[in-house]
Amino acid sequence: MASAEPLVLPDTTHDEKTKPRDELEPGYLVICWNDPVNFMQYVTHVFQQVFGWTKERAEKHMLEVHEKGKSVLTRESFERAEHYVHQLQNYALHATMEPDR
């Protein structure tokens, strides 16, 4: 038995007031701190492994850590920032996260 009534779909509207996801979630900064233990080449390698960065970008952040004592590596959601901090710590780097104010 076929139904004689046509299929009616609900109207869809786009909410122009919807904010992008990064505006809704507070951001967290992933920071790597200088230490007297790890070689600069090793730190560059770790940044490439963890973040998938090019050698040039990894070296830029490594030099910032070396010369300024720290580098803000990325801004992420809480869970993602926590993940990166744990990965960096697994490579024996001194990494922390803090809210982006």
In terms of phi and psi (left: phi > 0; alpha: psi -120 to 50; beta: otherwise), the region of 74 is beta
Strands 94-99 and 28-33: antiparallel
Q: What is the pLDDT of residues 32-86, one digit of tens each?
A: 999 999 999 999 999 999 999 999 999 999 999 999 999 999 999 999 999 999 9
Residue 14: per-residue pLDDT: 55
pLDDT for the residue 48: 98
pTM of the model: 0.75
Report the sign of the C-alpha dihedral through residues 74, 47, 66, 64, in that order.
negative
